[in-house]
Amino acid sequence: MATNESLKNQLAEKPQKQVAPGQLGLKALMNTPTMRKKFEEVLHDNANAFMSNVMTLVSNDSYLADSEPMSIMSGALTAATLNLGLDKNLGYAYLVPFNSKNKQ
């Protein structure tokens, strides 16, 4: 029977897979240090609130939830750079989903 130490050693020796940003989900992509840093550079103290707002917006819209996470992040970063909120009720900026995937 395997002991706790042997299991820990096996897990420690297992190489960590690097995942391309395009393969991450939206939540995982938002939590990467690079994305967090970009939003913090643009929004300073409001970065966490803005990123939370993006997550809420996407989770409440099934079309946005099916969109590419990197595309959503790009639109959100553009709105953040222009200092525009993404709240649908305010109407300053919108993330509009388009179905541009190739269908065969």
Q: Which domain holds residue 51?
A: 24-94
What's the pLDDT at 82?
94
28 found inside a domain:
yes
- Enter the DSSP assignment of 22: G
Residue 51 CB-density burial (10 A; 0-12 exposed, 13-18 middle, 19+ buried): buried
Taking the CA atoms of residue 58, residue 82, residue 71 and residue 57 in that order, the dihedral angle to the nearest 10 degrees is: 0
The reported pTM is 0.70
Give the total number of structural domains in the chain.
1
51 found inside a domain:
yes
What is the chain's pLDDT, residue by residue, as a tens digit (104 residues)? 556 676 666 656 655 555 555 557 899 999 999 999 999 999 999 999 999 999 999 999 999 999 999 999 999 999 999 999 998 888 899 999 887 766 55
Q: Which helix (H) or strand (E) holds 15?
A: none
What's the pLDDT at 10?
62
Could you tell me which residues come within 8 angstroms of residue 74 by beta carbon, excluding any fewer than 6 positions away? none
Spatial separation of the C-alpha atoms in residues 52 and 1, rounded to whole Å: 45
18 found inside a domain:
no
10 found inside a domain:
no
Spatial separation of the C-alpha atoms in residues 25 and 38, rounded to whole Å: 18
103 found inside a domain:
no
7 found inside a domain:
no
16 found inside a domain:
no
5 found inside a domain:
no
